[in-house]
A and B are shown apart, each in its own frame.
Chain A
Amino acid sequence: MITPRSWLPTPLLSLLLLVVWLLLVTSISFGHVLLGGVLAIVIPLISQRFWDVQPNVKKPGMLLRYALRVLGDIIRANLEVSWLILNPRRRMRPTFIEYPLMLEERFTITLLANTITLTPGTVSANLRMDGRSLLIHALDVGDEQALIDEIRERYEQPLKEIYEC
């Protein structure tokens, strides 16, 4: 893994910026790579002070697996929610759940909240100021504890391993 340096505080963000730039101009000529590279280094340097400190990715392979899993879950979520919307006879059991967080870094909590919103039948609604728990609204829940366990196991545990261990 590339280690952060003083002129490159966030290597991953820089890489992302470069890729986005190349996609935007849709060419990989030398000039654009050079320009994109300069932008990718300068923008994080300028905007660095606005950012929280971002934790380093400890296990890039796991991050990729996590992304794929979330992508799969997004498709599943879509089908489930579409089914719930189309079938008004089916009784929905909307629930507010207070989800106790294990994560500590604000960056990873943000990732978790985003994931929760994108995946089956749940929207994250409010994060406590102390960062201890997340309020979730779910569309159709049978067993609250089961949902909490599922989120813990599927998303929070991997995130913790990727960033915080």
Chain B
Amino acid sequence: MNWYVFLEGVISVLLIAGGAFAFIGSLGMAHLRDFYMRLHGPTKATTLGIGCILIASMLYFGVTAGQPVVQEMLITLFLFITAPVSAHLLAKTGLHLKLKHVEKTRGKPVELYREEVGEKPVPHPDRGHD
């Protein structure tokens, strides 16, 4: 009996921690200063949040079903593969569109070489392209 109460506690703590981390990640995306800094929130804080929730889910269903549940590992795997790739692509897009970054940022987002930009500029209505 005590064992189950203890386990319930662990699962609850994991769920709360997971929710908190996911929230902090989103908060970061909402209130950090520029595009590049905002990228950091969702790529990191959210991974741990989802991780905590998945571990909680594995524990809960593992105990109630009486056999180990491992599908959640797949979600983690896919998340770890896709999160960095999408972050990289977003950052790269930011560089291409020459998005502003906060003044105090040190170092320059080096000028992209011609072959990296590509021949055809992306139409951008705000800048007078049509």
A121 near B70 (CB under 8 angstroms)? no
For chain B, give the interface size range: 35 or more
How many contacts between A and B, using CB within 8 angstroms? 130
- Secondary structure call for the B interface: helix
Given A20-B74, A81-B45, A118-B47, A96–B105 Cβ distance below 8 Å?
A: yes
B73 near A23 (CB under 8 angstroms)? yes
Q: Which of B77, B92, B107 contacts A95 (CB 8 A)?
A: B107
B80 near A118 (CB under 8 angstroms)? yes
Interface residues in B63-78 by Cβ distance below 8 A to A read 69-71, 73-74, 77
Docked Cα-Cα span, A79 to B81, in Å, equals 20
Number of interface residues of A (CB under 8 A): 40
A75 touches B (CB below 8 Å) = yes
B71 near A26 (CB under 8 angstroms)? yes
A90 touches B (CB below 8 Å) = no
Binds B, one of A52-60, A123-131, A156-164: A123-131
Docked Cα-Cα span, A125 to B80, in Å, equals 17
Docked Cα-Cα span, A74 to B28, in Å, equals 17
Question: What is A's interface to B at a CB cutoff of 8 Å?
Answer: 20, 23-24, 26, 74-75, 77-79, 81-82, 84-86, 88, 92-98, 113-118, 121, 123-126, 128-129, 135, 137, 139, 141, 144
